[in-house]
Amino acid sequence: MLIYLRVLKESFNFALNALRNNKLRTFLSLVGVTIGIFSIIAVLAAVDSLKREIEGSISGLDNSTIIVMRFNFGPTDIPRWKWQQFPDVTYDEYQYIERNTPNIEAATFTLEVPNESIKYDNNQVDNVPIGAVTDSYYDIEALKLIEGRFFNGSESNSGSMVVVLGYEIANKLFGDVASAIGKEVRIYGRKFNVVGVLNKEGAGLFGNSKDTSVWMPVNVVRRIYGDNNKKTFPQIVIKPQQNIDEAEFKALLEQKLRLKRGLKPDEISNFFVNQLQGVTDFIDNITGSMNIIGLIISGFSLLVGGFGIANIMFVSVKERTNLIGIQKSLGAKNKFILFQFLFEAVILAVIGGLIGLFLVFIVSLLASQFTGDFEFVLSPWNMFVGTAISAAIGLVSGILPAISASKLDPVEAIRTGM
Q: Which residue has the higher pLDDT, 172 or 202?
A: 172
What integer pLDDT is reported at residue 196 of this predicted model?
A: 93
What integer pLDDT is reported at residue 284 of this predicted model?
A: 66
Three-state DSSP at 8 gives: helix
Q: Which residue has the higher pLDDT, 241 or 51?
A: 241
pLDDT in tens, 171-188: 999 887 778 899 999 999
What integer pLDDT is reported at residue 321 of this predicted model?
A: 73
Q: Which residue has the higher pLDDT, 82 or 292?
A: 82
pLDDT at residue 58 greater than cutoff 60: no
Measured distance CA(155)–CA(138) in Å, rounded: 13
Kindly state the average pLDDT of the residues 10-15: 65
Q: Which residue from 125, 406, 89 is spatially nearest to 270, judged by alpha carbons?
A: 89
Least confident of 109-113, 191-195, 235-239, 322-326: 322-326
CA diameter of the chain: 100
pLDDT at residue 298 greater than cutoff 80: no
The whole-angstrom distance between residue 275's C-alpha and the CA centroid of its chain comes to: 19
Q: Confirm if 54 and 282 have CB atoms less than 8 A apart.
A: no
What integer pLDDT is reported at residue 90 of this predicted model?
A: 93
Kindly state the average pLDDT of the residues 61-67: 74
394: exposed, middle or buried (Cβ count in 10 Å: 0-12, 13-18, 19+): buried
pLDDT at residue 337 greater than cutoff 70: yes
pLDDT in tens, 13-43: 665 666 666 677 677 777 778 887 887 787 7
Q: Confirm if 276 and 66 have CB atoms less than 8 A apart.
A: yes
Q: Which residue has the higher pLDDT, 163 or 287?
A: 163
Count how many residues are written for the chain.
418
State the first-to-last Cα distance of the chain, in angstroms, to the nearest integer.
33
Measured distance CA(314)–CA(310) in Å, rounded: 6
What integer pLDDT is reported at residue 245 of this predicted model?
A: 86
Q: What percent of the chain has pLDDT over 90?
A: 29
pLDDT at residue 59 greater than cutoff 90: no
What integer pLDDT is reported at residue 52 of this predicted model?
A: 67
Q: What percent of the chain has pLDDT over 70?
A: 79
What integer pLDDT is reported at residue 207 of this predicted model?
A: 43
What integer pLDDT is reported at residue 258 of this predicted model?
A: 93
Q: Confirm if 385 and 349 have CB atoms less than 8 A apart.
A: no
374 — pLDDT class (breaks 50, 70, 90):
low
pLDDT at residue 271 greater than cutoff 70: yes
What integer pLDDT is reported at residue 206 of this predicted model?
A: 38
Average pLDDT value for the chain: 81
pLDDT in tens, 78-113: 888 888 889 999 999 999 999 999 999 889 999 999
- Beta 214-217 vs 130-133: how paired, if at all? parallel
Q: Confirm if 353 and 395 have CB atoms less than 8 A apart.
A: no
Q: Where are the beta strands (DSSP E) in 293-377?
A: none
Kindly state the average pLDDT of the residues 49-69: 67
pLDDT at residue 295 greater than cutoff 90: no
The torsion region of residue 207 among left (phi > 0), alpha (psi -120 to 50) and beta comes to left
pLDDT at residue 60 greater than cutoff 60: no
Q: Which residue from 31, 106, 57, 73 is spatially nearest to 375, judged by alpha carbons?
A: 57
Separation in Å, CA 373 to CA 166, 290, 370? 17, 23, 9
The reply to whether the predicted model has a pTM over 0.85 is: no
Q: Which residue has the higher pLDDT, 365 or 53?
A: 365
pLDDT at residue 61 greater than cutoff 60: no
C-alpha dihedral sign at 30, 304, 386, 310: negative
Kindly state the average pLDDT of the residues 268-297: 72
Measured distance CA(352)–CA(36) in Å, rounded: 9
Q: Which residue has the higher pLDDT, 132 or 48?
A: 132
pLDDT at residue 8 greater than cutoff 70: no
Measured distance CA(326)–CA(414) in Å, rounded: 7
Q: Which residue has the higher pLDDT, 337 or 399?
A: 399
Measured distance CA(25)–CA(266) in Å, rounded: 74
pLDDT in tens, 115-138: 999 999 888 999 999 999 999 998
